[in-house]
């Protein structure tokens, strides 16, 4: 079809423009309708050192898209009468001994990320290790009250399925989903044997500061696992088969994998996702709508990889993006759908999609001004084309949006001295920018009208510093004492910075108190804490600033 050929030419051009503004070496895109794959586009490198290009057959880690596969097996067990979604997970896993201070945590809560359990860290890289650690990390809100994404919750889903069936979760996923769909190149466990034709994962070289596009990429740490939260390895050809399963409401090529009733249950919105307006979560799938109609899908991320799957139920089209690196896929996904729809329907093609430059900052003028520091220094912000230029002391640098996740009023500074910390701005109740922060330094805008905070407790001075761990997801934590308050910074994680609120027993809540983020400090040496205990894992003070 001539229209489709032109559509995929457009998608290829969009992908070529996408990669330079992402921390990814290569990527692959596939688009399918209910019956067949309409086309595949590949660009970039599967391995930079060897010069190997991405091919349609190149495999990537798909990360959390795996959660939908696990949810399907749960639905199969529910329909077979082997599993009740609304009994305590402690009844399903009697050895678990999971704290339930509010009410029972059920499979329903685990599947919908409403359990109150922590997101999880890879400081305990196995499913059993994470489950054992959860005994010491109680949930922080009543089940069902909030949406809080929990990989550890899905690890418990996998362990429950293993106990019910007597089979490892990766074998279950292969037998129940991958094999019936003909996903012959896909596996549901990550071990050393899968590295043949696996794209090399890439991450920014620095782990102690927000990523910038000018930072070089290095091979990411290879992770091993078979947990239900994200251990499938696949390529875009195979993933198109999974997308067709969703387009066909659970019907596989040789018969139903899910009944209509179970597919409806899986794709019924249960809880709104606060950070994504108009998006909800069901069982292992995000559910949304918008100008292009209703959709279901999921994003995915692993150390060195990122992915996005979206299924549009009205247009009966689906697309998947897999890349060996990080960066937003949303704009590329939208451009892909727009091009294919034009090609299929014989309409004029949209203008070529170009991602915004990292230095392009919407509403840049709202940040302009001079901000006074408590130490007498000044932070000056001025416009620079479509972006912003900042001056602090004898240093200057342009502001960029972080390609790995900082959003809203947080930016990175393109300067070798200033790049260590994000530059964040605060607004008053009317939405005007009135303050700025850069690491431990705080700056007052001309219209700042809030009262000064009470002095911080003297012992808080022992906590600031950079802490390291071998967790490949979260290798560093940085604790800051700024304007009499403690802040926890995730240098390479999308949360950016969150304030610490003191709790009983030496613990602090990181962010809002209901969130399952807890940290405390231990092992004082020469007046400084040497260990930060975060969500059960241990991070150790580094010599670095």
Which residue, among 383, 399, 400, 381, has the nearest Cα to 391 in the 3D structure?
381
Sign of the four-CA dihedral 138, 144, 147, 151: positive
Is the CB of residue 127 less than 8 Å from the CB of residue 147?
A: no
CA distance 43 to 60: 14
CB atoms within 10 A of CB 428: 14
Q: Is 391 exposed, middle or buried (0-12, 13-18, 19+ CB in 10 A)?
A: middle
Residue 99 token pair: 């704290």
Can you give 344-401 as a three-state secondary structure string?
Answer: HHCCCCCCCCCCCCCCCCCCHHHHCEEEEECCCCEEEEEEECCEEEEEECCEEEEEEC
51: tokens are 């010069």
Domains of the chain plus CATH, in order, are: 2-70+168-345 (3.40.710.10), 83-165 (no CATH), 364-444 (2.40.128.50), 458-541 (2.40.128.600)
- C-beta separation of 368 from 446 below 8 A: no
Residue 456: helix, strand or coil by DSSP?
coil
Beta partners for residue 419, in sequence order: none
Output the pLDDT for position 404.
55
Place of tokens 């890289």: 125
- 3-state class (DSSP) for residue 74: helix
Identify the CA nearest to 15 among candidates 355, 458, 472, 374.
355
Say if strands 465-468 and 251-252 run parallel, antiparallel, or are unpaired: unpaired
Give the whole-angstrom CA distance, residue 272 versus residue 274.
Answer: 6
Give the end-to-end CA distance of the chain in Å, rounded to a whole number.
59
- Phi, psi (rounded to 5 degrees) for 244: -65, -35
Q: What integer pLDDT is reported at residue 412 of this predicted model?
A: 92
How many alpha carbons lie under 13 Å from residue 57 in its C-beta half-sphere? 5
Interior/surface letters 336-347, b for 16+ CB within 10 angstroms, e for the rest = bbbbbbbbbeee
Query: pLDDT value at position 108?
Result: 98
CA distances from 85 to 116, 194, 487 (A): 17, 33, 38
Q: Give the per-residue pLDDT at 405.
A: 52
Beta-bridged to residue 389, according to DSSP, are 382, 398
- In contact, 42 and 58? CB cutoff 8 Å: yes
Per-residue pLDDT of the chain (545 residues; tens, 9 = 90+): 568 999 999 999 999 999 999 999 999 999 999 999 999 999 999 999 999 999 999 999 999 999 999 999 999 999 999 999 999 999 999 999 999 999 999 999 999 999 999 998 777 668 888 899 899 899 999 999 999 999 999 999 999 999 999 999 999 999 999 999 999 999 999 999 999 889 999 999 999 999 999 999 999 999 999 999 999 999 999 999 999 999 999 999 999 999 999 999 999 999 999 988 899 999 999 999 987 789 999 999 999 999 999 999 999 999 999 999 998 899 999 999 999 999 998 888 989 999 988 888 888 999 999 999 988 999 999 998 889 999 999 999 999 987 555 557 899 999 999 999 999 999 999 999 999 999 999 999 999 988 989 999 999 999 999 999 999 999 999 999 999 999 999 887 767 899 999 999 999 999 999 999 999 999 999 999 999 999 989 999 999 97
β partners of residue 309: 298, 320
Question: Which residues does residue 478 pair with via DSSP β-bridges, in sequence order?
Answer: 466, 489
CA distances from 237 to 59, 170, 185 (A): 10, 20, 9
Longest dimension (CA), the chain: 72
Is the separation of the CB atoms in 199 and 54 below 8 Å? yes
Q: What is the dihedral of CA 332, 337, 339, 345, to 10 degrees?
A: 180
Q: Are strands 295-302 and 280-281 parallel, antiparallel or unpaired?
A: unpaired
3-state secondary structure 146-189: CCCCCHHHHHHHHHHHHHHHCCCHHHHHHHHHHCCCCCCCCECC
Q: Return phi, psi of residue 116, to 5°.
A: 85, 5
The strand ranges marked E within 385-468 are 387-392, 395-400, 410-414, 423-427, 433-438, 441-444, 465-468
What's the DSSP call for residue 221? P
CB 309 within 8 A of CB 239: yes
């Amino acid at each position: 079809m001539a229209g489709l050929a032109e559509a995929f030419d457009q998608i290829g051009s969009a992908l070529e423009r996408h990669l330079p503004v992402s921390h990814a070496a290569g990527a692959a895109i596939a688009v399918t309708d209910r019956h067949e794959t309409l086309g595949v586009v590949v660009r970039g490198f599967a391995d930079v050192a060897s010069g190997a290009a991405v091919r349609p057959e190149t495999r990537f880690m798909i990360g959390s898209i795996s959660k939908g596969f696990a949810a399907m097996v749960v639905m199969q067990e529910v329909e077979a009468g082997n599993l009740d979604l609304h009994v305590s997970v402690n009844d399903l896993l009697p050895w678990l001994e999971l704290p339930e201070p509010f009410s029972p945590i059920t499979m329903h809560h685990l599947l919908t990320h409403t359990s109150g359990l922590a997101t999880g860290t890879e400081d305990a890289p196995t499913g059993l290790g994470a489950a054992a650690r959860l005994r010491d990390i109680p949930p922080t809100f009543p089940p069902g009250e909030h949406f809080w994404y929990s990989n550890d919750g899905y690890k418990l889903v996998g362990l429950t399925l293993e106990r019910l069936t007597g089979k490892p979760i990766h074998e279950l996923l292969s037998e129940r989903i991958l094999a019936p769909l003909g996903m012959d190149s896909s596996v549901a466990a990550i071990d050393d044997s899968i590295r043949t034709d696996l794209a090399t994962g890439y991450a920014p070289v620095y782990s102690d500061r927000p990523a910038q596009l000018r930072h070089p990429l290095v091979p990411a740490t290879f992770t091993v696992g078979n947990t239900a939260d994200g251990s499938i390895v696949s390529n875009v050809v195979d993933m198109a088969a999974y997308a067709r399963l969703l387009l066909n409401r659970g019907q596989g090529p040789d018969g139903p994998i899910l009944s209509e009733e179970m597919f409806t249950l899986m794709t019924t919105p249960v809880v709104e996702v606060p950070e994504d307006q108009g998006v909800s979560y069901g069982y292992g799938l995000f559910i949304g709508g918008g100008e292009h109609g209703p959709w279901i899908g999921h994003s995915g991320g692993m150390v060195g990889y990122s992915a996005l799957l979206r299924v549009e139920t009205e247009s009966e089209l689906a697309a998947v993006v897999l890349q060996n690196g990080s960066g937003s896929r949303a704009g590329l996904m939208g451009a892909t759908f727009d091009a294919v729809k034009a090609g299929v329907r014989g309409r004029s093609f949209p203008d070529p999609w170009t991602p915004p430059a990292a230095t392009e900052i919407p509403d840049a003028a709202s940040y302009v001004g001079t901000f006074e520091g408590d130490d007498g220094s000044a932070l000056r912000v001025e416009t620079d084309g479509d972006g912003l230029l900042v001056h602090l002391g004898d240093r200057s640098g342009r502001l960029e949006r972080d390609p790995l996740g900082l959003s809203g009023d947080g930016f990175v500074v393109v300067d070798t001295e200033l790049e260590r910390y994000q530059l964040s701005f605060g607004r008053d109740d009317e939405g005007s920018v009135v303050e700025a922060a850069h690491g431990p330094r705080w700056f007052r805008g001309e219209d700042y009208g809030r009262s000064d905070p009470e002095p911080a407790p003297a012992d808080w001075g022992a906590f600031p510093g950079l802490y390291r761990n071998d967790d490949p997801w979260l290798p560093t934590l940085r604790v800051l004492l700024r304007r009499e308050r403690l802040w926890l910074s995730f240098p390479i994680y999308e949360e950016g910075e969150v304030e610490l609120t003191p709790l009983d027993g030496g613990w602090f809540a990181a962010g809002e108190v209901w969130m399952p983020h807890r940290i405390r400090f231990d092992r004082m040496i020469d007046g400084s804490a040497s260990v930060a205990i975060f969500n059960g894992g241990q991070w150790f003070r580094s010599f670095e600033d």
